[in-house]
Amino acid sequence: MVKLNKTKKEKKVSVTALKGSVYWKQRYLLMMLIPAFIYFIVFHYIPLYGVVIAFKDYKFTEGILGSSWAGLKHFKHLFGLESFWQVFKNTLVISMWKFVVGFPAPIIFSLILNEVTNNKFKKCVQTVSYLPHFVSWVVLGGILMQLLSPSTGPVNIVLKALGFDPIYFLADSRYFRGVLVVSHVWKSIGWGSIIYLAALTSSDRQIHEAAMIDGANRFRLVIHITIPEIMPVITIMLILAVGGLINDDFDQVFNLYNTAVYDVGDVLSTYTYRAGLVDMEYSFATAVGLFKNIISVVLVLGTNMICRRINDYAIW
């Protein structure tokens, strides 16, 4: 009887503690997360079973379970192809340039925008910079083709007026990667700056005023106060950006590249698309995708560990 009474008291205490917890008080708000959980389970976790295709000779008519086991056959075939290593190199080069130019661009843009005192002008610039993010690469690809056209494009018209020969930017291996990098920055700089501008709103103005009284100019304020204040956000975004180095932008490349620039513009995502959907080599394409995702995980874990050791800021 004593034990029964204790268990009843313990249950009452646990129920009372649960009702008094923050999670119980916010239960209706937490219920709003249910659709998100369902989405990730259905579209992100259940499809993970399809990874097994990389280790099978998958046939559409036989299904995943009915297809014969192939082991590491497709990975051996993949690593033995010269074309794969060329594509892998292209992916790394393009992604690295996008990272080197594209990662600091939103930070610099947000720091400059934060110094603007005219609110109307500031909002106008923000709106204009956000717009490309909401336009698909199909539309932006068409716009770039018109702008960079060797015959009617405004860019080449200016070059001709200056006495230079017209350049077919999208069909010349020397310029194609530059077009990808510049167009990537153009599309992402405004949207990427939102997070940094949000972080800058929490900046302590009293510290800035004290530094200005001590004689610090705008440049020193940014270097010694503003950037250290948003360093946690920069670190987290850096970790995510490094993890995405191997995940090239398929929509951008697919809508801009052509056979003339395959040697410098063909990347892993377009290579996988042609192997999987065009040539119907599903197992081979899955092996390429799995290889790419493994590298991404290693990059995220490694960058997170390095950042934690350097400045104590990390995702976990």
- Answer yes or no: is 259 within a domain: yes
Buried b (16+ CB within 10 A) or exposed e, 48-85: eeeebbbbbebeeeeeeeebeebeebbbeebeeeeebe
The domain boundary, picked from 7, 37, 71, lies at 71
At residue 2 the predicted structure's pLDDT band, cuts being 50, 70 and 90, is: very low
What CATH number does the domain containing 144 carry? 1.10.3720.10
Contact 74/283 with Cβ under 8 angstroms? Answer: yes
Overall number of domains in the chain? 2
Q: Which domain holds residue 206?
A: 78-311
For the stretch 261-316, pLDDT in tens is: 988 989 988 988 888 888 888 898 889 888 888 888 898 888 888 888 887 777 77
Residues 103 and 234 in one domain: yes
Q: Say if 316 falls within a structural domain.
A: no
* 38 and 93 within one domain: no
- Residue-averaged pLDDT of the chain: 86
User: Which residue in 294, 254, 299 sits closest to 272, CA to CA?
Assistant: 254
Read off the pLDDT of residues 95-147 as tens digits, 9 standing for 90 and up.
999 999 999 999 999 999 988 888 889 889 988 998 999 999 999 999 999 99
CB 122 within 8 A of CB 113: yes
167 and 205 belong to one structural domain: yes
CA–CA gap between residue 221 and residue 217 (Å, rounded): 6
* C-beta of residue 98 within 8 angstroms of C-beta of residue 181: yes
